[in-house]
Amino acid sequence: MKTTDTLISVDEARAALESLEDTHRKAILFFRPPLWLNLLAASMFGMLTMSYALMSHDNNWVLGLDLSLAGFLLSVAFMFYSYRLLGIKMKIVPASLSGKIFQAVQAVIYSAIIFGARELYLDGMAWTPYVAAVLNAGTFGYLIHHYPTGELVSKEGVK
């Protein structure tokens, strides 16, 4: 079925790529989760980061960590469930290589912030858990809002 013998002009190819970018941008709006759910998941993730940094053997932050982890997982699960009800089954891992790299970089950054905040807190920098919580929550919320499919899509279109 595949044919490679068709000749198309540069302008036609550019127009096709622009329509593709446009479809991707529409898909981002379409796949974007509701803001309240995004805020809930992001704040749970921030709470998780802060609780992990502040916890010690016998303080209440261990409970905070458990609750925020449960809240985060539940809100993400509900996000996927609500997509399913709407007739969309989302990918957990993006299909493209750039998407996979993008997600791996996010995972490394989140982990570095979570573990780095705890180490710095234990070294005596009392402000780090709060800053780390805001950073992780903000980054998570921003990325879910702007890149809900996990794929990197240019906002400028094809030049």
Q: Which stretch in 3-11, 61-69, 123-131, 134-142 sits in contact with other proteins by CB under 8 A?
A: 3-11
Q: Which stretch in 11-19, 100-108, 110-118, 128-136 sits in contact with other proteins by CB under 8 A?
A: 11-19
Hey, is 119 helix, strand or coil? helix
Q: Which stretch in 25-33, 39-47, 105-113, 114-122 sits in contact with other proteins by CB under 8 A?
A: 25-33
- Cα distances from 55 to residues 40, 77, 116, 131, 148, in angstroms, run 22, 26, 14, 16, 31
Tell me if 86 contacts other proteins by CB under 8 A.
yes
Q: Is 131 exposed, middle or buried (0-12, 13-18, 19+ CB in 10 A)?
A: middle
Provide, rounded to whole angstroms, the least separation between the CB of residue 77 and other proteins: 16
Cα–Cα nearest to 46, from 66, 70, 72: 72
Supply 153's token pair.
């899509």
One of 14, 34, 109, 134 touching other proteins (CB under 8 A): 14
Query: Rounded to the nearest 5°, which phi and psi values hold at 145?
Result: -70, -45
Provide, rounded to whole angstroms, the least separation between the CB of residue 41 and other proteins: 19
Tell me if 90 contacts other proteins by CB under 8 A.
yes
Binding site for other proteins (CB under 8 A): 1-10, 13-14, 16-17, 19-20, 23-24, 26-27, 30-31, 84-91, 95-96, 149, 151, 158
